[in-house]
Amino acid sequence: MKKKWSSLFYALTIVGAAGAIYWILKQGKALQDPALTSRQVQQDGQSAAHSYFQEFTGSFSTHISEPIAVLLLQIIVIILFARLFGFLFKKIGQPAVIGEIVAGIVLGPSILGAYFPAATGFLFPAASLGTLSFLSQIGLILFMFIIGMELDLKSIGKQAYDAVIISHASIIIPYTLGMALAYFIYKDYAPANTSFLSFSLFMGIAMSITAFPVLARILKERGLTRSRLGAMVLTCAAADDLTAWCILAAVIALVKSGSSISAIYTILLAVVYVLLMLKVIRPALKKLEHIYHNKEAKRTAVMAFLFVMLIISAYTTSIIGIHSLFGAFMAGVVMPPSFDFRKIVTDKIEDISIVLLLPLFFVITGLRTQIGLLNDGHLWVTFGWILLVALAGKFGGSALAAKIVGQSWKDSLSIGILMNTRGLMQLIVLNIGYDLGVLTPEMFAMMVLMALVTTFMTGPALDLINKLIPEEKHAG
């Protein structure tokens, strides 16, 4: 009986509300401007179906071009292409990150833009790239925070001296060779109003960069992040890129003003920042672990504090002039040492970073890169020399230094190959040089292609070393 009365009440409510709404609309129509009423009557005399369809298509066109709709469509397309190409490249023995870079190139002006310019203009209008780039940077910051937490600081402490020697050798040697190469190609490839000093310094920095995020991603996919070799390489890469960004600041200062005084301030501030994080912030954060595990009500507050600290750290290194990525990395390094605590924090942010946001970084960089500018034989010869110098400097210098400090031949060669991974960090440097007018479009294209080739060869070269040199037994 109760169910019957409920159904009757529901039906009367619907019917009554519909009748009331109809009456209100009919009475309200009399209140509007007579001219508007006349226009509506005239439209009703036309083909109703045609008018309604035009109204729908106009509304649909407006909605699909709204910024939020464009952004959501871009994310859908990027994730699908990134996952597809990542899967295909893993099938051929390459890390998924290489597939994501290639996905960006496919979606960019080199392929999709060349053959389907209308599709590129619709999917990636210039006005939308700023928001997309912002999201990609957020994903990269979160990823570097995770990588920092996965470092074994005890292992790093035992080999910090070796890591500094290797990392600095992997900068000094390729930097010198890059400047030497600049001497031979300056007349043919430097822009007209660019000094040899500016051109050679940028060639040196472009040769000496290691792609810290790509390297970390490769190590993570191979399960090497927490290994002795992985910890050593990540330490080398961190010291390498920290030094390289400081050098880059000096180079930019020289190009813009002819003075390197601002770079000295950057280096001093970077040293103060690192010491502050390791000697002050890290000991203070050890209390968070106790609060998180013992006071459940405050767990949300602890996580909020960690995210604020991460953002402040990234912001600090950004305004210093290094890069926000190193602030995120250092924020992860100074997390409480408990493995359980770090695992809990990692699990909370890893999926959203790696699956959703991080592919945006690799793809947005590919969208901004053109590799189809090598259209003459002499350009390919020059590219061959660039690639040879890159391999000799970065791979040769890193491997030689690693062997000298006491690493095995297998680990030395592996370190050389991994440090030779340039990837997208170099593309950032190249874009800076291009924007400053130090690199011509042709030189920019050759350097980008060199970065992709050296990154692409990392996986196969590591596999080759593992086959040729068996795992060495350490004395007990």
**pLDDT on residue 244:** 76
Q: Count the residues in the chain.
A: 476
Residues 407, 415 contacting (CB under 8 angstroms): yes
**HEC string of 396-438?**
HHHHHHHHHCCCCHHHHHHHHHHHCCCHHHHHHHHHHHHHCCC
Instruction: Say yes or no to pLDDT of 24 above 60.
Output: yes
Query: What is the DSSP secondary structure assignment for residue 65, as one 8-state letter?
Result: T
pTM value > 0.75:
no
d(CA 446, CA 439): 10
Q: If you average pLDDT over residues 117-136, what whole number do you get?
A: 83
pLDDT of res. 469: 80
Q: Which two tokens stand for residue 208?
A: 């000496």
Least Cα distance to 431 among 441, 417, 421, 418 occurs for 441
Alpha helices in 46-159 (DSSP H): 48-64, 67-91, 96-107, 112-115, 117-123, 129-149, 153-158
Q: Is the pLDDT assigned to residue 181 strictly greater than 90?
A: yes
**CA proximity to 410, closest of 474, 462, 476:** 462
Q: In the prediction, which pLDDT does 476 show?
A: 38
Look up residue 378 and give its two tokens: 């002499």
pLDDT of residue 58: 64
Q: What's the whole-number mean pLDDT along residues 358-387?
A: 79
* Highest averaged pLDDT of the listed ranges 73-77, 106-110, 143-147, 304-308: 73-77
The region of weakest confidence among 160-169, 199-208, 395-404 is 160-169
Q: Which two tokens stand for residue 57?
A: 């298509």
pLDDT of 352 reads 81
* Residue 354: φ, ψ to 5°: -75, -40
Mean pLDDT for the chain overall: 79
* Least confident window among 73-77, 261-265, 394-398: 261-265
pLDDT band at 25 (very low <50, low <70, confident <90, very high): confident
Residue from 242, 107, 226 nearest 156 by CA: 226
Q: What are the pLDDT digits (tens) for 211-265?
A: 776 777 778 777 777 777 777 887 888 777 667 776 776 677 667 655 556 667 7
Is 359 within 8 Å of 99 (Cβ atoms)?
A: no
Assess whether pLDDT exceeds 80 at residue 46: no
Condensed to tens digits (0 to 9), the pLDDT of residues 327-356 reads 888 888 888 776 667 777 777 787 788 778
Helices 261-276 + 228-257 axis angle, to 10: 150
CA distance 402 to 386: 24
Q: Looking at the predicted structure, is the pLDDT value of residue 290 above 70?
A: no
DSSP state at residue 210: -
The predicted structure's pLDDT at residue 474: 45
What residues contact residue 397 under an 8 Å CB cut-off, 6+ apart? 169, 170, 172, 173, 174, 416
Q: What is the structure's pLDDT at 159?
A: 58
User: Residue 121: pLDDT above 60?
Assistant: yes
Ordered domains of the chain (ranges, CATH): 123-468 (1.20.1530.20)
The pLDDT of residue 321: 73
Confidence (pLDDT) at 312: 93
Task: List the structure tokens of 273.
Answer: 């920042």
Residue 442 has pLDDT above 90, yes or no: no
pLDDT band for 42, please (50, 70, 90 cuts). Answer: low
User: Rounded to whole angstroms, how far apart are CA atoms 265 and 272?
Assistant: 11
Residue 337 DSSP class: S
Amino acid identity of 319?
Answer: I
pLDDT value, residue 56: 59
291 vs 355, residue with greater confidence = 355
Q: How far apart are CA 198 and CA 256, in angstroms?
A: 9
Distance between CA atoms of residues 328 and 26, nearest Å: 61
